[in-house]
Amino acid sequence: MHKLSRCNVWLMLSLAAIAIPLLFIALAALLSGWFNIYNNALSDLGHAVRSNVALIFNLGLSLGGLLLVITSIGCIFRRYRVLSYVGVLVGYSLTLVAVFDEVYGRLHFIVSVAFFLSLAIMLITYMAVFKKVTPIPSLVVSVLAWYAHLTYRIPRGAAIPELISIFATMPFYIDVVLRSLKPCDEQQG
């Protein structure tokens, strides 16, 4: 039987940290029978009183947040401490979105804003650490999506700007993980 290397385990956990929340969000949206990507926020799926799929949605967010914290500390910290700290912030704030679902009203809004701001902080930190401007288009697209939603209510629901922000940050998170694992790959080669 093939033994998994430490690098492969960290890579799988890191990818699971982003795949699990997205899969659970998609599953919750499909099973809800009412969710509309144009008219709802993703968090509508997690409303503990009004949503028939709150358990699925909130479980996915909390598992993803936990895995982000674990991989930020266990994988990224050794090479990129500041990005590790930001990764912990992203993961913890994602977990808070699950814990303080829409039932909590203003508190939910605050932790949701913290999560999406932490994604922007991740992009800015990536630019500073690697001295690259490649995250700028992702950051601009995310900001413009939120501006259109908050200013003009385009789209009516927040799900699209939320997903844009998440998908705009994902490639840079994956790159940080791969860079963090590079010394491990070189030792095995």
**pLDDT tens for each residue of 109-155:** 999 999 999 999 999 999 999 999 999 999 999 999 999 999 999 99
Residue 188 lies in a domain: no
Residue 151 lies in a domain: yes
Residue 103 lies in a domain: yes
Residue 58 lies in a domain: yes
pLDDT at 2: 64
Residue 92 lies in a domain: yes
* Cα gap 140→159, rounded to integer Å: 18
65-87: pLDDT as tens digits: 999 999 999 999 999 999 999 99
Number of domains in the chain: 1
pLDDT at 49: 98
Its sign, for the CA torsion 145, 149, 154, 157, is positive
Residue 186 lies in a domain: no
Residue 15 lies in a domain: yes
For 171, list phi and psi in degrees, rounded to 5: -60, -30
Mean pLDDT, residues 6-23 taken together: 97
pLDDT at 86: 99
The closest of 79, 86, 88, 93 to 183, measured between CA atoms, is 79
Give 4's pLDDT tier (boundaries 50, 70, 90).
confident
Give me the chain's average pLDDT, please.
96
Residue 1 lies in a domain: no
Instruction: Report the share of the chain in percent with pLDDT over 70.
Output: 96
Give the structural domain span for 176. Answer: 6-181
pLDDT at 74: 97
User: Does residue 188 carry a pLDDT above 80?
Assistant: no
Q: How many CB atoms are located within 10 Å of the residue 108 CB? A: 20
User: Does residue 186 carry a pLDDT above 80?
Assistant: no
Instruction: Supply the pTM of this predicted model.
Output: 0.95
